[in-house]
Amino acid sequence: MPLPTPHWVNPGFRLIECDRELGWAEIAGLAADLVPKLPAHGRVAIDGRSVAMVLAALTAAERAGIELVLLREGFHRASGASERIGADGRLTRVSPAVDTVNAFAVLMPTSGTLGNPKLVRHDFIRLIGRIRGDAGGDIRWLLTYEPTGFGGLQVVLSAVAAGATLIVDPRAGIPALADAAVAHGASHVSATPSFWRAFLIALGQRMPPVRMITLGGEVADQALLDQLNQRFPEARIGHLYATTEAGALFLVRDGASGFPASWLTDGVEGVRLRIGRDGRFEVKSPRAMIDYATGEAVPLTDDGWLVTGDLVERDGDRVRFVGRSDGVINVGGVKVAPERVEQVLLAVPGVADARVSAAANPITGQLLTAAVVAAPGVDPEGLRASLHHHAQTLLAPAERPRLFDFVPQIPIASTGKKRRAPAGAAGPGV
């Protein structure tokens, strides 16, 4: 018996997954098959190998009133799920059933970029609070994130709500996704800045009909925003601030990095913002998580603000993102955010990407090194001189990389973010 269409679904939605095309009727059929297999209470889990099955599992779990864990690569902690749903729709028992409240909730791991991922519990209605269902023409979303991560789920649900087409290939790397964007005519692309830099190189001179671009997950630097505007002059470009814990908070569309300082006073989209102790970004969000299902304390201040872990600073009428508090590198007693240094390097003409890391040093304890990707056709040795000049001119002594290593690409994790070592895990001495 077919299930009623959920309120968050536009039945015009289409899914192109590994060149197989499905409509909502087929996905609803998968959900109907799942419902009688689900436990009467507790929690089940699913990974992101099939977007069709993720959507079916969401629909079925909501119908059954149980919790659904969206697993992702790199999450190895116990999830508390009694069953795991496979890409074929079969359930496998993984642990005894947990006697939890019979209520639908979505649980997902944090990215774990610099540490052990935590499992976040979200109320589904709050989770989709920023998603709009207006279509406005033929929309074709390209999925660049894991569908079971926060950013990926937002893209999937945005496409579903709009009745859009979603282009998916979970196995594809960036070059294959560039091919898919061209072949299927992607109009909407949301990705991390690291992904966008590699994606532009993979596209070469090809021009998919992109008319909406969103950046998220990392600091959106001005050089990349300008490059995207030049490459896709007709596209609406914005950078979204969201975290797995705080939810999707706000979108900046004025073409500048950071966000207006007036938002610290006025708020934005129902969210209150402030700069807390040591430059930590704190928020009060109507779309925030319920709690950590893995038992950690929610990072709240004494007066109830959520501490995001991001560092910001006020710069005139703008607030700029500096980096992550848990990624700060101690160079001779000076705390340096590698993302701040990277923004300076990325603004150097000829730099396609850069990653700043710590290396052990017997005098300062740690110093900085930089892995740099030169843009196609750029001479690395001439670029090295430019990088040293910009570092000497624009960076404090502790912020200047002592070594520039040219590499063909910067490793990107399954989250779309740069792979980084945890703070304090220095590389070899130089």
Q: Domains in the chain, ordered, with CATH?
A: 1-324 (3.40.50.12780), 328-406 (3.30.300.30)
The percent of residues in the chain predicted with pLDDT above 70, rounded, is 94
Please give the pLDDT value at position 44. Answer: 95
Checking if the pLDDT of 32 tops 60, the result is yes
CA atoms of 421 and 426, how far apart (whole Å): 8
Q: What are phi and psi of 251, to 5 degrees?
A: -120, 130
Which residue in 157, 54, 68, 149 sits closest to 111, CA to CA? 149
**Token representation of residue 243:** 């975290």
- What is the rounded average pLDDT of the residues 348-376? 92
Give 74's pLDDT tier (boundaries 50, 70, 90). confident
Q: Are strands 43-46 and 83-85 parallel, antiparallel or unpaired?
A: parallel
pLDDT digits (tens, 9 = 90+) for 121-133: 999 999 998 897 6
Looking at this protein, which amino acid is placed at residue 268? V
Distance of CA 393 to the CA centre of its chain: 32
Q: Residue written as tokens 């359930």?
A: 91
Checking if the pLDDT of 429 tops 50, the result is no
Please give the pLDDT value at position 364. Answer: 73
Of the candidate ranges 83-92, 172-181, 284-293, 416-425, the one whose mean pLDDT is the lowest: 416-425
**Token representation of residue 241:** 């601030």
Please give the pLDDT value at position 101. Answer: 60
Checking if the pLDDT of 96 tops 80, the result is no
Give 265's pLDDT tier (boundaries 50, 70, 90). very high
CA atoms of 336 and 304, how far apart (whole Å): 28
Beta bridge partners of 405: 371
3-class secondary structure for 318-335?
A: EEEEEEEHHHCEEECCEE
Q: Structure pTM?
A: 0.92
- What is the rounded average pLDDT of the residues 63-88? 88
Q: Are strands 140-143 and 165-168 parallel, antiparallel or unpaired?
A: parallel
CA atoms of 228 and 97, how far apart (whole Å): 49
- What is the rounded average pLDDT of the residues 203-216? 96
Please give the pLDDT value at position 427. Answer: 35
Checking if the pLDDT of 220 tops 60, the result is yes
Checking if the pLDDT of 69 tops 80, the result is yes
Name the helix (H) or strand (E) containing 43: strand 43-46
Beta bridge partners of 144: none
> What's the chain's average pLDDT?
91
**Token representation of residue 122:** 């979200």
Please give the pLDDT value at position 72. Answer: 87
Other Cβ atoms closer than 10 A to 425: 11
Could you write out the DSSP letters of every residue in 131-185? ------S--EEEE-S-TTSHHHHHHHHHHHHHT-EEEE-TT--HHHHHHHHHHHT
Checking if the pLDDT of 135 tops 80, the result is no
Give 348's pLDDT tier (boundaries 50, 70, 90). very high
Three-class secondary structure of residue 248 per DSSP: strand
Do 204 and 175 form a contact (C-beta atoms < 8 A)? no
The percent of residues in the chain predicted with pLDDT above 90, rounded, is 80
Based on its alpha-carbon atoms, the radius of gyration of the chain, rounded to whole angstroms, reads 22
Please give the pLDDT value at position 100. Answer: 59
Work out whether the CA dihedral 126, 286, 161, 178 comes out positive or negative.
Answer: negative
Could you write out the DSSP letters of every residue in 221-234? -HHHHHHHHHHSTT
Please give the pLDDT value at position 406. Answer: 97
pLDDT digits (tens, 9 = 90+) for 140-175: 999 999 999 999 999 999 999 999 999 998 778 999
Of the candidate ranges 180-194, 326-340, 357-371, 377-391, the one whose mean pLDDT is the lowest: 357-371
Q: Are strands 67-70 and 105-109 parallel, antiparallel or unpaired?
A: parallel
Higher model confidence: residue 49 or residue 370?
370
Checking if the pLDDT of 430 tops 60, the result is no
Please give the pLDDT value at position 424. Answer: 44
Please give the pLDDT value at position 1. Answer: 64
Which residue in 232, 197, 230, 231 sits closest to 215, CA to CA? 197
Three-class secondary structure of residue 398 per DSSP: helix
Work out whether the CA dihedral 389, 390, 395, 400 comes out positive or negative.
Answer: negative
Give 422's pLDDT tier (boundaries 50, 70, 90). low
Q: Residue written as tokens 């007709």?
A: 234
CA atoms of 351 and 204, how far apart (whole Å): 16
